[in-house]
Amino acid sequence: MSLRAVKGMKDILPDEISRWHRLENAFRTRAERYGFREARFPIVEPTALFVRSIGETTDIVEKEMYTFTDRGEKSLTLRPEGTASSVRAYVQHNVQAKEPVTKWYYLGPMYRRERPAKGRYRQFYQAGIEVFGDPGPYVDAEVIDMVVGFISDLGIDEVEVLINSIGGPDTRARYRDALLEYLGPFRAELCPDCQRRMDANPLRVLDCKVPRCAKIASGAPSMLEHLTDDDREHFDGLQQTLTRLGTPYRVDGSLVRGLDYYTRTLFEVLGKGEGLGAQNALLGGGRYDQMVQSFGGPETPAIGFAMGLERLLMAMPESVPRSHVDVFVVAAQPDVRAEAALLGRELRSAGLRVESDLRGGSLKSQLRRADKLNARIAMILGESEIENGVVQLKDLQQKTQTEVPRNEAAAHAKPLLA
């Protein structure tokens, strides 16, 4: 029987991993530059966590979650997103009592049983940030500015930043009435899911991808026309700060997010690269000021975003793969393989990345393997080199060879690698 990976779940092999490392390192560097600290959460959480936070009428909860009953007969779910776990941890560990503002970032796998598509998998990887405790529009602008800087760090130039506000509870109540009044005459034309959403959460109709529903939604009244004075002041502050930062953006009154917990600020970054296909969203986020309180914590404003790493990798420009090998140690005769292993350890202790082939092959075959691994240097060790306390340092790029003292081999290699 031939066993294969589960549908929608993908192996990431060493040939691909250097681009992942570049992306992840760029994210960590940018996040920590803005004062964020890494947090890690369990992959499995109580199902109720996501039902409460994401919303019972969302496609994620209704159709996509990997949910199972464990031996204790508790319903558990593989996490479909990161914000709910962040809020659960924030409340559980009483973090608000330790610091007025909390800034976390995370990376890791998420799980949704949706239809696999280009750049979209059932096990996919997300990175995200969460800020707890700051209610102002200025932190919203700073988060968006951070996102734009990170995207630029990856070499992705053609992006568009969309922003919107869906207000707080008072705005939502006012807008719900206006939206239902508009959608009422179209009810029979909407898909069955949207007909149910009209009763449970009509804003979800605006996020439907069914063409006829999207066409109807395009004529809906704008949430921006129904903002309360406080919500309007917050949104104006966001725009003024983004303008002051020089962060380009466009207001899109039709922008909504597919999760029920959002309030006030919403934003999305779209890519323009051909490799992204029809689904060109790179990341999205926004405020969720009521969520901490709904989990049993104190009233705490919060904002965050999440991004799929696979989507970003598709948008990133190709780069020359960096070798994982600095030095390839060559045993010139089979009898010196133990000493070659010792040389390898000496070089690794000096901070070099070292590979060797200790199977006893010919000098020529070992040098051929060093070339295939894209090693910069080969260090050749034979019986005479051991006797004289030297190694032959071969620069595989410049095609030169020099005899150097063995105890100085690493010092001679490092300038070439720099």
Name the residue with tokens 């800020």: 131
Please tell me whether residues 283 and 159 are part of one structural domain: yes
Give residue 222's pLDDT: 86
Residue 67, domain member (yes or no): yes
Please tell me whether residues 28 and 76 are part of one structural domain: yes
Determine the Cα–Cα distance for residues 128 and 218; give it in Å rounded to an integer: 29
Domain count, the chain: 2
Residue 135 Rama label (left phi>0; alpha psi -120 to 50; beta) = alpha
Residue 33, domain member (yes or no): yes
Residues present in the chain in total: 418
Domain boundary among 315, 347, 372: 315
Determine the Cα–Cα distance for residues 223 and 179; give it in Å rounded to an integer: 9
Does residue 270 contact residue 151 with C-beta atoms inside 8 Å? no
Does residue 140 contact residue 265 with C-beta atoms inside 8 Å? yes
Please tell me whether residues 128 and 274 are part of one structural domain: yes
Give residue 51's pLDDT: 85
In terms of residue numbers, what domain contains 395? 327-417
Helix residue ranges, H only, 34-155: 47-54, 59, 83-92, 137-153
Give residue 403's pLDDT: 95
Please tell me whether residues 298 and 402 are part of one structural domain: no
Secondary structure percentages of the chain, helix, strand, coil, to 5: 45, 20, 35
Residue 240, domain member (yes or no): yes
Please tell me whether residues 134 and 57 are part of one structural domain: yes
Average pLDDT per block of 10 residues along the chain, 418 residues long: 87 89 94 96 92 67 82 88 94 95 96 80 94 96 94 88 91 87 90 86 83 89 90 96 94 76 90 62 91 92 94 83 84 94 94 91 93 93 94 93 95 91
The phi and psi torsions of 162 (rounded to 5 degrees) equal -105, 140
Please tell me whether residues 305 and 335 are part of one structural domain: no
Using only C-alpha atoms, the chain has a radius of gyration, in whole angstroms, of 27
Residue 120, domain member (yes or no): yes
Determine the Cα–Cα distance for residues 255 and 251; give it in Å rounded to an integer: 9
pTM here is: 0.82
